[in-house]
Amino acid sequence: MSATVYLSEDYRDCLQEVTNIAMGQAADRLARLLDTFVVLSIPHIEILSPADIAMALHSIDNSASVSGVCQGFIGGGIAGEAIILFNDTSFADLARLLNYEGELDRQAERELLMDTTNVLFGACLRGIAEQIDITFSFGPPMVLGQHQRLDELFNPRSATWQQALVTEINYKLEGYNVNCDLLLILSEDSIDRLCKKLDYLLA
């Protein structure tokens, strides 16, 4: 892979449409689970370095602290990582929506985080995979951290790649103080393979 990765406008538009459909499916599943309306942002797609991603994370969520989960995926020559970040004001409303009646301690928050994440990651990634005709295998989801600063959750110096294709989508639950950002990070070695898959949709 060359030092500078370029994504044409045609590929960007096509990937945005693919992501829109998949995110809509994920939002629909979350809305049914929580019985509330889910507001989605337009997917934002860029080629970014690890330092760029760190800056983007700070721009989309400047809360004092956040909680995050990540999950790796691979299939059809495409590999990446999904990351979801919840603002720390989300948990009380999430507990109410999921009818959680116990004490809202760190373990309970972890369970709420994982339950919501499983719905979003599963529906979103399967929606993308179906459209580009591949099957993803998933690694186990891992909690990046709870109630931590963003720079503690994502350290650009620990990344093993130089550039990645990053898709960012914001989810909000209407009428509730629940706000999360989902990022799909595709490794630079996967971008050529993804573009070949998108060629079939563009043809």
User: Cα separation of 33 and 100, whole Å?
Assistant: 13
Task: Work out the angle between the directed axes of helices 106-131 and 90-97 (0-180°, nearest 10).
Answer: 80
Q: Indicate the domain borders of the chain.
A: 9-202
> Helix, strand or coil for residue 178?
coil
* DSSP letter for each residue of 19-60: HHHHHHHHHHHHHHHHTS-EEEPPPEEEEE-HHHHHHHHHHH
Tell me what pLDDT residue 2 has: 44
pLDDT in tens, the chain (203 residues): 445 677 899 999 999 999 999 999 989 988 988 888 999 988 889 998 877 877 777 666 665 688 889 999 999 999 999 999 888 778 888 888 888 888 888 898 898 888 888 888 988 999 999 999 999 999 999 998 888 887 777 766 666 677 889 998 988 888 888 888 899 999 888 999 999 999 988 87
Tell me what pLDDT residue 1 has: 42
Q: Classify residue 185 by burial, with Cβ atoms within 10 Å: 0-12, 13-18, 19+.
A: buried
Per the listing, tokens 């760029």 go with 52
Tell me what pLDDT residue 186 has: 92
Q: Are the C-beta atoms of 116 and 94 separated by less than 8 Å?
A: yes
Question: Span 9-202: which CATH code?
Answer: 3.40.1550.10
Per the listing, tokens 């573009």 go with 195
Tell me what pLDDT residue 72 has: 93
User: Cα separation of 40 and 172, whole Å?
Assistant: 7
